[in-house]
Chain A
């Protein structure tokens, strides 16, 4: 679980890449006063060690489904948490799945169009999973911030 922490050079590179990851190694090298080889090696290592992920983020598709919904899930028996979490992680509509301590056993986050869509999604995809005891959903009305530069990188 423990991941190597980024050093100062790593952080400087990531700082540039987090604004625009299409910038070339040569430009990064020039900006930071290091060699192009250093940049290439560092970026590759950070990607391989899953410290960073360089990816396209889009502003469309998902936003046709405009509200974020937090779905808190309580399981019948505590030993079922891991198994249910794995089932949830397979649902494409869920953007976040975590095993939690406090409030409830699991948190799943998705995008929905409205309350009706949320109810339909929860009943259709979540309540039907064996071992799910109850769910409590909260619908977002105003998405004030999401810093896409930060995430738990998992496969």
Chain B
């Protein structure tokens, strides 16, 4: 799925790249300001942005800080699976809002997930009552992020 993805997107030209780069810096930059910066008309910019969005190449979104959203804890949880396919367990994990990233992996664990919790009690409930009890989950191996230095949200499947 992911590997085939790039082929279906139209190639981006220089103008597209510059629009994306300006919108990465400031997603609310007005069309007029974008037009001025790039020396193009406002209607050209509007059409370009629409095309980028409609082709699922780019989206401009608000990313919320997890702490401002009420989650004080971020963990990377390794999941070992038994008696089920990792994919099916991963899909169930993905349905839980606090589990914000889910990857089927090869290695010591079968799935790597990134999860958030409001506090210690919330974390305990999430791990023990919701993740550990999912059919197929054998063991959870969590690690707590005590200092996140970098977290770029812009490398995701849309």
Contacts and interface: CB of A to CB of B under 8 A. Distances in A.
A142 B65 contact: no
A1 B143 CA distance: 19
Given A5-B70, A17-B62, A151 B153 contact: yes
Given A18-B62, A22-B49, A56-B58, A145 B148 contact: no
A121 interface: no
B103 A143 contact: yes
Given A56-B154, A141-B105, A97 B63 contact: no
B67 A152 contact: yes
A70 B149 contact: no
A interface residue count range (under 10 / 10 to 19 / 20 to 34 / 35 or more): 35 or more
A132 interface: no
B104 A154 contact: no
B144 interface: yes
B interface residue count range (under 10 / 10 to 19 / 20 to 34 / 35 or more): 35 or more
A51 interface: yes
Given A54-B27, A102-B143, A152 B58 contact: no
Interface string B64-103: 1111111100101010000000010011011001011111
Contact of A100 (B1, B20, B143): B143
A58 B104 CA distance: 22
A66 B3 contact: yes
A68 B103 CA distance: 8
16 contacts: A18-B61, A49-B68, A52-B68, A54-B26, A57-B61, A98-B76, A99-B149, A101-B144, A103-B76, A138-B109, A140-B103, A140-B104, A147-B101, A148-B156, A150-B100, A151-B63
Interface of B: 1-3, 5-6, 9, 12, 20, 23-28, 49, 53, 56-71, 74, 76, 78, 87, 90-91, 93-94, 97, 99-109, 112, 116, 141-158
Interface of A: 1-6, 14, 17-22, 43, 46, 49-60, 62-64, 66-68, 70, 82, 85-86, 88-89, 94-104, 107, 111, 136-154
Given A60-B9, A138-B106, A148-B63, 8 more contacts: A21-B62, A50-B65, A52-B68, A66-B2, A100-B145, A101-B144, A146-B156, A151-B152
